[in-house]
Each structure stands twice: as structure tokens, then as C-alpha cells.
Amino acid sequence: MQVTRRQFFKICAAGAGGSSLAVLGFAPDEALAEVREFKLARATETRNTCPYCSVGCGLLMYSLGDKAKNAHAEIIHIEGDPDHPVNRGTLCPKGAGLLDFVHSPNRLKYPEYRAPGSKEWQRISWDDAFSRIAKLMKADRDANFEATNKDGATVNRWLTTGMLAASASSNETGYLTHKVARSLGMLAFDNQARV
Amino acid sequence: MTNHWVDIKNTDLVLIMGGNAAEAHPCGFKWVTEAKAHRKARLIVVDPRFTRSAAVSDFYAPIRAGSDIAFLAGIINYLLSNDKIHHEYVNSYTDFSFLVNDAYTFENGLFSGYNAEKRNYDKSTWGYQIGEDGFAKTDPTLQHPRCVYQLMKAHYSRYTPDMVSTICGTPKEAFLKVCQMIAETSAPNKTMTIMYALGWTQHSQGSQMIRTGAMVQLLLGNIGVAGGGMNALRGHSNIQGLTDLGLLSNLLPGYMTLPGEKELDYATYIDKRATKPLRPGQLSYWQNYGKFHVSTMKAWFGDAATVENNWCFDWLPKLDKPHDILQVFEDMNNGQVNGYVCQGFNPLASAPCKVKVSGAMAKLKFLVTIDPLATETSEFWQNHGEYNDVDPAKIQTEVFRLPSTCFAEEDGSLVNSGRWLQWHWKGTEPPGDAKSDQEILAGIFLKIRDLYKKDGGAFPDPVLNLTWKHKIPAFPSPEELAKEFSGKALRDVTDPKDPTKVLVKAGEQINGFAELRDDGSTACGCWIFAGAWSEKGNLMARRDNSDPFGIGQTLNWAFAWPANRRILYNRASCDPAGKPYDPTRKLIAWDAGVGKWTGSDIPDFKPDSAPEEGMNPFIMNPEGVARFFAVDKMNDGPFPEHYEPFESPLAANPMSPNNPVARACPAARVFKGDWETFGKPDKFPFVATTYRLTEHFHYWTKHVKSSAIIQPEQFVEIGEELAKEKGIDSGDHVRVKSNRGFIVAVAVVTKRLMSLTVGGKKTHTVGIPIHWGFLGVAKNGYLTNTLTPFVGDANTQTPEFKAFLVDVEKV
Amino acid sequence: MALQSLDITARSATTTPSPSARGEAVKVAKLIDISKCIGCKACQVACMQWNDLRDEVGTNVGVYDNPRDLTDQSWTVMRFSEVEVEAGRLEWLIRKDGCMHCADPGCLKACPAPGAIVQYANGIVDFHEENCIGCGYCITGCPFNIPRISKKDNKAYKCTLCSDRVAVGLEPACVKICPTGAIVFGSKDDMIHHAEGRIEDLKERGYSKAALYDPPGVGGTHVMYVLQHGDQPELYANLPKDPHISPLVGLWKGITKPLMSFGVGLAVFAGFFHYVTAGPKKVEDEEEAKS
């Protein structure tokens, strides 16, 4: 083998680095020979289901705190549930990164309102949001509800307001959504089955 | 899925077509690798792109986007002409022998009954010949020229290997190789599974592509068996559940349907749906429709639903036309919609033809979005430069953006594609003031109800009487809601054979839909979910993963609908005498000793009907058998036929070259004004197809740092040959244009997109992933649906995202 | 915390022999079956999640590989290669790149900082950054070009084989996450046995040259690959066919010590310079590549 000038220099440097740095007082502390602490040792484990695709992988969510009154649980890690018959502990890259979804900087925190023609959001209270939306919906329903069609048949429908339901929401949400939408007479009602 | 994820490990052959399981469902795809490892199963991938699934396949065949029916029809022709079918299965369990109405015809690309002006069919000739006894006529010898077998053979004989190759661009040898591999599974002890997803559904012919796949499986005897089936992989985590719960414009829970505006008589409404058997001795399970319907109305309207008011039948809105998402945006664009609520839904990104959707939303008076994340829809009015170039001052829509919880912050159940209802538990509080979807719905609904109580208004009865028996009205709990859809007895429910025997006491949760009644004594919000929460507790939360039969059935894990059954049509896994075709993969078998069907699954059958009684396995069909001939169930024909995508490189449909009406699907709905938005191959010569990447989920994960790191920026995929023609190198920026707009993205030049010869012409494909937008932590980009056409499947109105035309240029 | 399997058998720049009275620990290994890899990058995300790493959101330069290369924040990356080994038959070979945990680790041998690199009795080669001086010699020593110096703290980082998980009896994060079971973990003996089964399966499917990659030039590795084309490892984004520790590292033990006695003045200065500035310069790598 050939050793170039530069390599020779490096070899010397490396050789000296080990011993001579110590001489100069740059020696690190004695090697502790320890691995990183296991970060989940006392975390609380909660079972959940991945919200992305429809494989329905089981998750283990690890949170800080033991559910004591004064502890605010913060999810610190998410892994696959090894007991789950389908995923058996595995996850895809999206499932593997669910922590970053939970903690996304774009998670919404407050109800917001945008006035007609405005360029910006303004923060509003939940009560204001609910009241205003309810008024708008009722006014539209009262104005446009079709109790009968042109032939005089009872149709009891409301076509001028529609709803798209979330296909990642739970059955419980979906069931309640359906009840509410149909009781109002909505037909312009769909979910993500198509898109 | 007719089967479920783990069951895929029981297969001998996997066909991935119209999907990309490795990319979009990696953890489910694991069971493909298990079948390969432990059963020496083979994997075939048929796709316009050499996908991640193809990367681990045993055989890959390229296909032009949008030509899948031709490919599958070619397989049907191969199986029939080479006698590679499961004879006993098709003869006994399908409509092979059924005689079809003499007036049914198929000529020059059109079925009988076509109305060119309305672009739809009068389906009255698409039926069986009915005998004087009221039953469908059959010819078990299969010789009758009008039997389904003979008609089908003739219909598909036109799809020769050469024709398939012409239409699909698949090299003939590759097509034949796929046929040969598939044909092997016609043996009774061999099976194939088909895994598909939006690659089949998102076409103007999507439903028929899936039907053609199902027909292949029926010919091979692969439906109802372990390791077989038609397996829709499904997109969202609870798209299965929301569809099961009927959250579509025309549905009620459990695949019941809303009445049309001509169905005003309650008895007729029920009778039409409670179908009587079409053959002697068949179960025709939908005969129980009335029990399911009344129980739902009791769950929704409680004491207000009475026999006297037909269980509030008048309160249900009556359909004038379909109100799917495309129709609603069409109406919105025409100024007929004032308000819209988007709950966890981002239509600006996910609906076709962004310019139309954006313009439509600007005509709304108010828009409400409910989401854990900031969606493009919620900011459709905001200027985001080149990616959303609008003038807020001109948009008069009031917009509300309501923050909801995400999965980690709520309890509840989701249904996976294998129909498992799985419960999950809350692990933390939501950020800021975000609320659960139930609280948000309650918040809006209770305010509306209060207004109606106080001020009255249009038809307040259903609003005022909607059951809302929640301990905290403003927070309907997931437990309460789950019990409500699972169902309970309002009065004692007794055994019909022995009225002294009480099956469920008043007030108790029911065990299953067999206990539902149409006399108002039971309430059940979704009959197919019945029993999910019984007196035994919340079965959806079960976590026993033991697998005593070793074929992955895990019956005590969660709850599968219907009735905890894991594999649908499982009676068909046995021969007519009740013996499993493959005892090593036994699902159920007739146990003469106990007089019951027993095994590793819940029988999808009348549990005590002995084989000699002659009941057939497809109990939801009044015929008792599976249908090759769809009768009147499809809008675009009883047999699937290849039509070109609305935007296609071919000027004519090679199957009926002289009939311009039969170029694209003749029964697909096209709105006025949208014809002009379709591009032609002279200006837009390349076939485009959109898809997801494994690193991202729709338009959510651009908000997720880890996904942004591993796939940061919008790109399109271009084959080497086209790139060379256009002088494009990998990493260059390119503009991709359709007749509806353009996007700019990085070019990934790849060998994985091959040029194909279609109709004698060289055809290039441009691949366009969907995940970018103008909000997120990933690099901002254009919404891909800027490019896509505003036309959907003739049956489901699913947009044609998978095959349209574009041009590409270097920028 | 230091469990029996994590007894240290070798320590960088340390002449004191490691304790060796205890019995042999089970050697662990991670086996990456490239024929089952779909390149989903779940392992990349699992790695960043477990180890609390987040790389920059980069750009797309016309390939699927992202991040483009290993960094102090990306200890494993997928490398995608489109090849036609047989004319007309496209293959998309996707290799998970990262530390191979060599039985004879060049990084450890090259490292001048006492205890910055250790090898546990179970075979894991781990960096202890608190001892790292950021000189970059581990990179020179590594036949697989794995370690990276962080710009944040000027210390070298690489895959630990999740030593903190293995220490408490868990598998590494990338292994657990892998959807298709392309990554498996266990004793090295079991992994070799598992690989034999996979190779047999691949041969039956027409990959006559399928083989295990456990290169003897570095004493074998605790991260092994099953390759469909075992005769052409270079197809897999230039996986070295016959990796050896750079001869320069051999010098460290041989020539360097005698040299030190007279070269120390110059070398101390150079070493110090390296310590306070960033890691290795690109020009050095290029020069080595030529030699």
C-alpha cells in the first residue's frame, strides 16, 4: 500500500490524538460503558388504533405521568402493538411517525372565524361558534326546506346545506353524525368512500 | 374485504391489481410476504407502474391505466376457453345455469335499453326468465343459449389475447403468463386472493372493474374460501365503518337505502327491499329488511316512532337524485348550495378539478370545517401565491374552523378493511381548546334544537324527537353511542318457536341481529353491528389473539361484522355435501352429528340447514347463488364491458370502434359544461394517473415532520423514454398540464414507468403522487387535483383520478 | 444498566484489556432481507422516533432516496437502485443502509478517543458521544462509510443497533417496525439459519445466486443482508464486494506508536485542531478513494 503525505499526517494525528490529547487535559471522563437510558421505563401505556389506512394496526402510546391528578399526560412515543393479530408490532412509515402527527405544529387549538371578504382568521369562543353556526343552519333550513316536491309528495328534505363526514372518525362519531344529518333532512351528505 | 388481512397468509397466489398494497397498506401486505414464505405463494402485480409491490413480486405485467376490464375480461376468456374453471363450484353456487330474459341484448358496445339523450339504461330487460312458480328458470345442462354461461362465454370470447394486448399495451406473452398462473388456482385445493384499492375504484368504470375481478374469482371457486376472496384494501381508517353506518347520500345504516321521492308508501318501500327467494329453498336474508329498518328508526326516534306513523317513515328525506360529492359541487357551483360542513374532510384537495371546487366554495354563504389539522379547504379563500391564487376580498363566504381531537385523544371504535370493529383508548388531552367530534356535533345540534324549541320553524319534528339520551347531553359518550348502534331490547324479546322463552329482557343489549324485531320491541342503530356491545360487554375491545386453528381467524379479537364472522360466504368453501374443498384450510363443515355447521369461523349460512336441504351459500341474494350476470344491479350493464376512460389516447374503443357513444362509459354522468373541460390526445398526449406514496397519507402527513423528512417535495414520475424525448433529466422541474390546469413538480425519471404500445401507438404514462398542498411542514406544492377530470364511475360517482390526459414540459 | 450481554469487549484507544472472565454472551444480529424490502422507510422513521432525531426537510432531487444520505440525524436510509440484471426484467433493489456492526470494527480501531467507541459482548458496536472528540477517524476506518459528524456538536453518530432497547431485552426499533419482516433480529446463529431458508426460497424462485452477505474481511457483521444477487453486491447501491478495514487503520496499531515518539509535537497540534473544528474534509475522502 501507499501512504500519501496527507494520510501520513493523519495517521500521526490520530496516533497522537489518543494519548497526547489526554496529556493536554482534553481527556474525556472514564468511559462509563453504559447505553442510553431506556426511555419508556415508567411511561404509561395506552392502546390505540392507527388513524391512517384501513389495515387498522394496533398501537401502543407511551405517555409521561401515571395518570395522577396533577400530571398532564404527554405522549412521548408510539409503537406498534405486538399483540395485534394484523400488524404484530409493525407499522408503516406513517404509523411510525404518528407522534409527529399528534404534535404537529399545524394542529388546530382554537375555534376560528373568517368574515366575508376578510384576509384573516380571528379567534372566537366555542359558544359563539356554535351559536352562529346553528343560526346560519336553521335560517337556511327554514328558508329552503322542501316538505313536499312539485308533485305534492311528502319529501321532507333540505338540499341547500350539505355535509362531508370524516372517514377517519370513529363509528360513534359517524353514527351520531348520520343521525343529526338525516334528522335535519340532509341528502347532500357523503364521506371519503369515493375520494 | 370478503376475507381479512391475516387470512391472506392462506393463499397460493396473490394478484395485486388496481392497488399497490406494499405502498399503501404495508402492514397488511406483510401477509403476502408470509404466504410467500410459508406456502410458496406467488405474487403477480399488474399495474401501469412498476410499484413497490412489483419490487417484491414474482411476476409483473404492465398495463395502460384505465384498461383493466379488458385485461380481466381476457382472463375470463382464457379460463372459459381453456376449461380452467372450478366446475362444481360454478355449477352449484353461481348463476351459470340461470336463463336470461330474451329481450336482453348486447350490440355494438351497448346493452339493451340505452337512452342516448339521458345517457342511461332502462334496465327492464336485464333480468332472468321467471317461471309460473315465481322462480327464476335454469338449465343445469348449461346448453340453453340464453343461460348465463352461454351468454357470458359469447360476450368474453371477443377479448382475445391480441385484443387485450392492443387495448392494455401489455405484451401478449406477459398477459398469457398471468393467465396461466391464475388458471392453476381453479383446482379445488388452490386459491388466489385479489387485492385491490382505489386503482380500480377511481375510474368511470371502477365498479365494473371490481365486478370483473370478482367474476374471475368465482370462475376459479375462490370466493368464500380461506386465502381467497375479493379484498378491497380501503383507504381511510374508518371508511369501512362510515360506509357500514350509511354515511352516503342514498344510504341508511347497514346498507339499507333511503326511499326515493316516488317511494312514498311504507309497505312498498319495505317489500321492494325485503326480497323473496328467487329459487326454491333459498334464504334470501334481506327478507328481514323490515326488522332492521324499524329497529334503526326506534334507535333514532325512540317513542316517537310508532306503528301508526310507519315508524316515522315520512321523516326520512326522500331522494330526488343522487347527492354524491360531485353532484353537490356541481350544485354548489350553480349557486344551489348555501352551507357546507366539512368534518375531517379536505375537498379542495381531494375532489377533482380544483378550479371548479374552489369556485363552487366561493359561492357558499357559510363553510364549517372540523379537523385536527389546518386543511386547504379551510383556507380556500386565502391567497397562497401560485398554489392558491385567489383574492380574499372577492370571496364572501363566512368560514368557521373548529379544532377537533385526533385518535390519541379519544375513545371509540374503527372498522378496518377486514370488517373488524376495534376499540381504542384515549391517551392524552387534545391541544388547546380542541373538542371531540361528538362534542362539536352536540354543540351545534343542541343549539339548533333549542332554536326550534323556542322559535319553531320548518318541520321541527325529527329535530325535536331525535333520541339524545346522553347522561351529559353536551358530550354524548362513545360508550353510549356504541351501545345505541349495537342495539337493545325495548320490551322482552322472545323465541319465535317458543314464546315463553325470553331471549333478551327489556332494557338489555341484544346479542345479534337475529334478535331484531319489526314490532318496535328492539332498537338498533346499525343492524350489521348488532351484538358488538352485548350484555357480555364491549366485544370490540376484546384482545384475545389466540388462533387455535392456525389459519389466523382469532375469533376473540375485537368484533367482526356481521355476527363476528371473519370470512364472508364461507359456506362456499365446502362442496354441496358440506365437506371442505381443502380440509387444510377448513373454515366450516357440516357436522351431521350435532346437526350444525361448525369450524374455525361463524357460518355465513343458516347454521342448522343440512346440505341436503339445498340452500345455497350466497344467502344475501334471493337466488342463493353468486351472479355473473348482474341483472339490474349495475347502471352500466349486466356484464362488464371495456370502455375507454373519458380522456384516453385512443379516438375509438377497440371493442366497438364504430360506435362513438360506446367510446367511454355510455352510462357515466357528465355535467353540462364538463364535456368541454375534457382534453384530447392531440394537445394532451400522455396518460396520467394519480396515486399515493407510502411515506404519506392523503393531505394529512404534509403536516407531519417525519413524513416530510422522508418524502419532502412534490414530484412526478416520467419514464426514461419520454424524458429523453422531452429533454428532461431527473431533478428537473416540469410543468404537467391537463385541460383544467397545471402543476409544477420535480421530475423523477425512472425505468419503472414503461412506454407501452396501445392501439398500435406508443403510449407514455406520467405518474402523479397526490400528497402536496399549500399548508404543511413539507415543501408546499400544487394540489394534484388541479389536473383531474370532473367525472365519476357510472355506479358510485367515484372520480376518474386514475386515467386522464396530460402534457409535460420542462420549465 | 450494563447487562451481561452488554459487557464491553473492546474499547477505542484503550490498552487496558477488557474483563473477560464471564462466559460468552449471545451474539446478536440483524438480518435485512432485501428480497422482502418494499422501501417503505418505516425503519427510517422508527429510528428517528426512537432515537429522538429529526433531519432537515430536504428537497427531491429526482429520486426516492430521502434524506439523500446518512447524517447525524439519519442513522439509516433506504438506497433505491433500478437494475436490469436480466435483460427486460426490471428489478427495484432497495437497500437499507446503516452501520453493519462489524465483528472487527474499523471505526473502533481508528478511533483515538478513549471509550468513544465500544464493542459489547453481544457484538453491538456503539458510539459514546460524550467521549467523542469529533476527529472523524471512525469514518476513515469504516469500510461502509457510515459514521457522520454532527454540525451541532461536532461528534460522530451512527446506528447503535438500539443498544438501549437490546439492553432491556427488546429488539431494535427498525426491526420491530418493519411491515414485511424484511428486517429480523435474534442470535447471529439463528439469523444465519433464517437466511438459509430465505436463500433456498429465492433460489426456488429463480435467483440462483441468492446469498447471505456477512463479509469475512471485517470478521463478519452483526447486520447482514440476504441478497438476491449475492454475486453482485455492488448492484445494491455499491455495497462493497469484499470490505476490509482501511489499511490506514492497521497503521494505527503498527507504525503509529513508534512514529508518535518523534511525530508527537506536530500531531498534537493537528489533533487539537481537529478537535476544535469540524470533522473530516471532503478532500481527504477523495484522496483515499484514489489510493
B6-46 tens-digit pLDDT: 999 999 999 999 999 999 999 999 999 999 999 999 999 99
Q: Give the pLDDT confidence score for residue C18 in this predicted structure.
A: 81
User: What's the rounded mean pLDDT across residues B403-408?
Assistant: 98
- B693 has pLDDT over 60: yes
**Residue range B227-275, pLDDT digits in tens:** 999 999 998 999 999 999 999 999 999 999 999 999 999 999 999 999 9
Q: Which ranges of A86-125 does DSSP label H, i.e. alpha helix? A: 93-96, 98-102
Among the three residues B235, B264, B297, which one is the final residue of a domain in this structure? B235
User: What's the rounded mean pLDDT across residues B449-469?
Assistant: 98
User: What's the rounded mean pLDDT across residues B424-446?
Assistant: 98
Q: Give the pLDDT confidence score for residue C287 in this predicted structure.
A: 40
Measured CA to CA, the distance from residue B217 to residue B569 in angstroms comes to 13
Beta strands B114-115 and B120-121, pairing class: antiparallel
Single-letter code of the amino acid located at B200: W
Collect all residues of chain A within an 8 Å Cβ-Cβ radius of residue C49: 77-78, 96-97, 99
Chain CA centroid to CA C120, Å: 15
A contact test, residue of B262, B314, B549, B704 with most A CBs within 10 A = B704
One pLDDT digit (tens) per residue for chain C, 291 residues: 344 567 889 999 998 888 778 878 899 999 999 999 999 999 999 999 999 999 999 999 999 999 999 999 999 999 999 999 999 899 999 999 999 999 999 999 999 999 999 999 999 999 999 999 999 999 999 999 999 999 999 999 999 999 999 999 999 999 999 999 999 999 999 999 999 999 999 999 999 999 999 999 999 999 999 999 999 999 999 999 999 998 877 665 554 444 444 444 444 444 444 444 444 434 444 444 443
* Cross-chain residue pair C177–A2, CB shorter than 8 Å: no
- What residues have CB less than 8 Å from B405, skipping those under 6 apart? B372, B430, B434, B435, B436, B437
Confidence of residue B448 (pLDDT cuts 50, 70, 90): very high
User: What's the rounded mean pLDDT across residues B266-294?
Assistant: 98
* Cross-chain residue pair B710–C67, CB shorter than 8 Å: yes
A26-30, B509-513, B709-713, C31-35: segment of lowest average pLDDT: A26-30
**Residue range B482-512, pLDDT digits in tens:** 999 999 999 999 999 999 999 999 999 999 9
What domain count does chain C have? 1
ipTM score above 0.90: yes
Element (H, E) at A80: strand A74-80
Q: Domain range for residue C162?
A: 4-235
* Cross-chain residue pair A99–C49, CB shorter than 8 Å: yes
**Residue range A65-102, pLDDT digits in tens:** 888 999 999 999 999 999 999 999 999 999 999 999 99
- B574 has pLDDT over 80: yes
Q: How many CB atoms lie within 10 A of CB C17?
A: 9
Measured CA to CA, the distance from residue B104 to residue C255 in angstroms comes to 93
- What's the CATH number where B179 sits? 3.40.228.10
- What residues have CB less than 8 Å from B709, skipping those under 6 apart? C48, C54, C55, C56, C57, C58, C66, C67, C74
B164 within 8 A of B201, measured Cβ to Cβ: no
User: What's the rounded mean pLDDT across residues B81-94?
Assistant: 98
Asked, for residue B284, whether it belongs to a domain, the answer is no
Q: How far is CA B430 from CA A110, B407, B436, B754, in A?
A: 11, 10, 8, 47
Judge residue B202's burial from the number of C-beta atoms within 10 Å of its C-beta, 0-12 exposed, 13-18 middle, 19 or more buried: buried
C54 touches chain B (CB under 8 A): yes
B77-86, B371-380, B515-524, C10-19: segment of lowest average pLDDT: C10-19
C57 touches chain B (CB under 8 A): yes
Q: Which residues in B287-408 belong to E strands, given as ranges?
A: 339-343, 366-371, 398-403
Q: Using CA atoms in the order A113, A118, A120, A126, what is the torsion angle rounded to 10 degrees?
A: -10
B64-78, B447-461, C19-33: segment of lowest average pLDDT: C19-33
Collect all residues of chain B within an 8 Å Cβ-Cβ radius of residue C92: 50, 52, 54-55, 752
- B151 has pLDDT over 90: yes
- What's the CATH number where B762 sits? 2.40.40.20
Backbone angles phi, psi at B444, to 5 degrees: -75, -50
- What residues have CB less than 8 Å from C290, skipping those under 6 apart? none
Asked, for residue B335, whether it belongs to a domain, the answer is no
* Cross-chain residue pair A149–B261, CB shorter than 8 Å: yes
Measured CA to CA, the distance from residue B630 to residue B639 in angstroms comes to 7
Asked, for residue B194, whether it belongs to a domain, the answer is yes
Measured CA to CA, the distance from residue B2 to residue B52 in angstroms comes to 24
- B620 has pLDDT over 70: yes
Collect all residues of chain C within an 8 Å Cβ-Cβ radius of residue B9: none
* Cross-chain residue pair B40–C84, CB shorter than 8 Å: no
**Residue range B173-204, pLDDT digits in tens:** 999 999 999 999 999 999 999 999 999 999 99
User: What's the rounded mean pLDDT across residues B207-227?
Assistant: 98
* Cross-chain residue pair A97–B239, CB shorter than 8 Å: no
* Cross-chain residue pair B709–C48, CB shorter than 8 Å: yes
Q: CA of B781 to nearest chain C CA: how many angstroms apart?
A: 12
Looking at domain A44-102, does it have CATH number 3.30.200.210? yes
Which chains share 3+ C-beta pairs under 8 angstroms with A? Answer: B, C
Q: Using CA atoms in the order B242, B246, B247, B249, what is the torsion angle rounded to 10 degrees?
A: 150
Backbone angles phi, psi at B771, to 5 degrees: -80, -5
Confidence of residue B317 (pLDDT cuts 50, 70, 90): very high
How many CA within 13 A on the CB side of residue B709?
29
Q: Using the 8-state DSSP alphabet, how is residue B9 labeled?
A: G
Q: Give the pLDDT confidence score for residue A21 in this predicted structure.
A: 42
- B86 has pLDDT over 80: yes
Q: Give the pLDDT confidence score for residue B102 in this predicted structure.
A: 98
* Cross-chain residue pair C176–A7, CB shorter than 8 Å: no
Confidence of residue A9 (pLDDT cuts 50, 70, 90): very low
Measured CA to CA, the distance from residue C223 to residue B732 in angstroms comes to 36
**Residue range B636-667, pLDDT digits in tens:** 999 999 999 999 999 999 999 999 999 999 99
Buried/exposed code over B109-133 (b: 16+ C-beta within 10 A; e: otherwise)? bbbbbbeeeeebbebebbbbbeeee
Average pLDDT over chain B, rounded to whole? 98
Q: What percent of chain B has pLDDT over 90?
A: 100
* Cross-chain residue pair B36–C201, CB shorter than 8 Å: yes
Q: Domain range for residue B706?
A: 660-810
What domain count does chain B have? 2
Residues of chain A with CATH 3.30.200.210: 44-102
How many CA within 13 A on the CB side of residue B694?
30
- CB within 8 Å of chain B, chain A residues 129-158: 129-138, 140-142, 144-145, 147, 149, 153-158
A111 → closest Cβ in B325, B403, B441: B403
Asked, for residue C153, whether it belongs to a domain, the answer is yes
**Residue range B328-340, pLDDT digits in tens:** 999 999 999 999 9
Asked, for residue C287, whether it belongs to a domain, the answer is no
Q: Give the pLDDT confidence score for residue B485 in this predicted structure.
A: 98
Backbone angles phi, psi at B761, to 5 degrees: -110, 145
Average pLDDT over chain A, rounded to whole? 87
Q: What percent of chain B has pLDDT over 70?
A: 100
- What residues have CB less than 8 Å from B540, skipping those under 6 apart? B413, B421, B422, B423, B482, B532, B533, B558, B559
Q: Give the pLDDT confidence score for residue A6 in this predicted structure.
A: 42
Asked, for residue B87, whether it belongs to a domain, the answer is yes
